[in-house]
Amino acid sequence: MNILGISCFYHDAAACLMKDGIVVAAAEEERFTRKKHDTSFPINAVNYCLKEGGIVINQVNYIGFYEKPLLKFERLLSQHLEMFPLSFWSFYNALPSWLNEKLRVPSVIRKKLKYKGDVLFIEHHLAHAASAFLVSPYEEAAILTVDGVGEWATASYGYGKGSDITLLKELRFPNSVGLLYSTVTAHLGFSVNNSEYKVMGLSPYGKPAYYDNFKKIVNIQEDGSIEFDMDYFDYHYKMTMPSKKFIEEFGPIRNPTDEVTQKHKDIAASLQKITEEILFKMLNHLYKETKMKNLCMAGGVALNSVANGKITKNTPFKDVWIQPAASDAGTSLGAAAYVHNTIIGNKRKYVMKSAYLGPSFSMGYIKNFLDNNKIAYKTFKSDEALVKMTARLIYENHVVGWFQGRMEWGPRALGARSILSNAANTKMKDILNLKVKHREHFRPFAPVVSKEDVYDYFEIDKDEEPFMLFVYPFREDKRKLVPSVVHVDGTGRLQTTSKEENPLYYGVIKEFEKLSGVPILINTSFNIRGEPIVCTPENAYKCMMGTGIDYLVMEKFLIKREDNPKDMWDSEKIARD
């Protein structure tokens, strides 16, 4: 039984393939097209999934699509009719994409894939819920999904048991935690559906001085349901988000090139506080309804790792599980799992323990690429030599591009397409920003730690956080040891790893510990600002040569950065190849 899940046409287009109930491949379209948050039909991701699964399209039994387009179009018509004539231009601009693609999903799928089978449509928040629960380690769990908006729902809650999911209640557009966060993101001069995490990273620098201002905007009930004063928003009828009244309340919209002031930091802190208040009220009410100790979450708001790290301290839930592609990309996984487990009724037998579901590249492929482009390299004779040399380079404060095995699923680099560096160096955060990332100074870098050492360094109640979706406090006596991964509030967005999960990655950490006394590295995504994480060897080498990355460890090859890459780098030729 082969089930293909697809999400597309809004943001984070993706595909996922399940074979006999096992996820064998999943990837976002952006990694292939190099267009961040690509919305287009994920033809490259689909083709990859089919190739990885060893099948062709006529061997796919069902395709699951991550929402119901007609229901979504009903909401679009409703909101624009309500606000007409103010909404005319927004509706006019949106209509062509609806008529050409979004209302013609079955025909688009059949035409682009030459597919003749059934296409099943799953409501958006049900796809989120399925992505959270059906591949989780729990036989039963409470479920919360929170995002911008699906068809009508902006949040939903319920529970899963076995292969079944029951959603009990939903919050509806235009009242949306995700859209509130995006509105403030726009107001602070960052890009919507892309930079909400920057606002989260900015929030610890501020104080919640504008909390009462937000309380004017949103009425919060004890069960976590909310109601907005829509005079503060434009998103329900225009292409913009903050309204004139919002600007009067919080000041002018920041120009992206302007300085980030203390006021902006305080607005971010206030937004984070009210977001957490809403989420924790939702979760406490959900616990009262379900009495289940396990929690699964999905939706874009489930990527708010600061809030995630506080759930077990602010609610009765004991265990929280979030799959690594919690935003819209993950609904392709949810659609596939829902079809296989819930609609067809197959028992669950897959637990997502690893995010390494993307493409890998053979030693032969990489060697041909290096040789054909006259790129100098050395070959490690053994894994032990690779691990020791990489750890030594990091200890000597070199920045290392790390390209190993199958690419990660989701927005976080988890040791397959990562940039690794020395967390013990007080200047490494500035070095990384200067050499590679070229990003805002206030954004933290994330730590990766060996699983057996996590309790020594973090105030945490479990030893495993493989997907980097939770922020936890460092133990106070350890903060001085790894200054480049300790955020201003003493926390870090944690990833753990082990020898079983990723032996080379783990090996580098443990070898670095032998040299430094610290089992922690900086792990940041292998990309530059504004680009997706690298996918191919070509992407990785181009990223290294366009930045200040010192070395690239690509499978068993070591490439040193050259000051003059012109003789060995023909970007047009590689693009053609």
Across 36-54, average pLDDT: 97
E strand or H helix that includes residue 127: helix 124-133
At the top level of CATH, the class of 363-576 is alpha beta
Q: Is it the case that residue 535 has pLDDT exceeding 90?
A: yes
Residue 571 has pLDDT above 60, yes or no: no
- Does residue 565 carry a pLDDT above 50? no
What is the pLDDT at residue 440?
83
Please report the pLDDT score of residue 510 as a whole number: 98
Tokens of 5: 């899940």
pLDDT for 568 beyond 50: no
Write down the pLDDT at residue 563.
56
Give the model's pLDDT for residue 573. Answer: 33
Confidence of residue 74 (pLDDT cuts 50, 70, 90): confident
**Would strands 417-421 and 520-525 be described as parallel, antiparallel, or unpaired?**
antiparallel
Q: How many whole angstroms separate alpha carbon 174 and alpha carbon 343?
A: 30
| pLDDT of the residue at 238 | 81
pLDDT digits (tens, 9 = 90+) for 357-391: 999 999 999 999 999 999 999 999 999 999 999 99
Could you count the other beta carbons within 10 Å of the beta carbon of residue 250?
Answer: 22
Lowest mean pLDDT, pick from 204-208, 277-281, 423-427, 432-436: 432-436
Residue 169 structure tokens: 């209640």
Q: Tens digit of pLDDT for each residue in 214-262?
A: 999 999 999 999 999 999 999 988 878 999 999 999 999 999 999 999 9
- Residues 355/26, Cβ–Cβ less than 8 Å: no
Could you tell me the CA-to-CA distances from 168 to 33, 157, 159, 290, 411 in Å, in that order? Answer: 39, 6, 8, 10, 29
pLDDT value of residue 91: 72
Predicted local confidence at residue 395, as pLDDT: 98
d(Cα 448, Cα 468) in Å, to the nearest integer?
A: 9
Q: If you classify domain 177-319 with CATH, what class do you get? A: alpha beta
Gap between the Cα atoms of 391 and 515, Å rounded: 8
Q: Reply yes or no on whether the pLDDT at 564 is more than 70.
A: no
Region 564-573 average pLDDT: 38
pLDDT digits (tens, 9 = 90+) for 111-152: 999 999 999 999 999 999 999 999 999 999 999 999 999 999
**Residue 570 pLDDT class (50, 70, 90 cuts):** very low
Peptide bond into 444 cis (omega under 30): no
Interval 321-360: pLDDT, tens? 999 999 999 999 999 999 999 999 999 999 999 999 999 9
- pLDDT of 567 higher than 60: no
Average pLDDT over residues 187-196: 94
Model confidence at 209: pLDDT above 60: yes
- Picking from 65, 173, 146, 155, the residue whose alpha carbon sits closest to that of residue 112 is 65
- List the CATH code of the domain at 2-66+68-121+328-343: 3.30.420.40
Domain boundaries in the chain? 2-66+68-121+328-343, 177-319, 363-576
* More confident call, 569 vs 459: 459
**pLDDT exceeds cutoff 80 at 437:** no
Overall average pLDDT of the 492-519 stretch: 98
Question: What average pLDDT is seen over the chain?
Answer: 94
The helix/strand/coil state of 441 is coil
Q: What mean pLDDT do residues 158-180 have?
A: 97
Helices (H), 454-534: 454-457, 503-516
pLDDT at 574 over 50: no
Which of 80-84, 137-141, 411-415, 531-535 is least confident?
A: 80-84
Mean pLDDT, range 57-74, rounded to an integer: 93
2-66+68-121+328-343 against 177-319: fold identical: yes
Residue 575's pLDDT is 30
Q: Any alpha helices (H) in 188-328, and if so which ranges?
A: 196-202, 211-217, 244-250, 262-290, 305-308, 311-314
CA atoms within 13 A on the CB side of 414: 27
In this prediction the pTM is 0.94
User: Could you give the residue ranges of the DSSP H alpha helices within 315-445?
Assistant: 330-337, 363-372, 383-395, 428-432
Alpha-carbon distance of 545 to 420, in angstroms, equals 16
Given a cut of 90, whether residue 562 has pLDDT beyond it is no
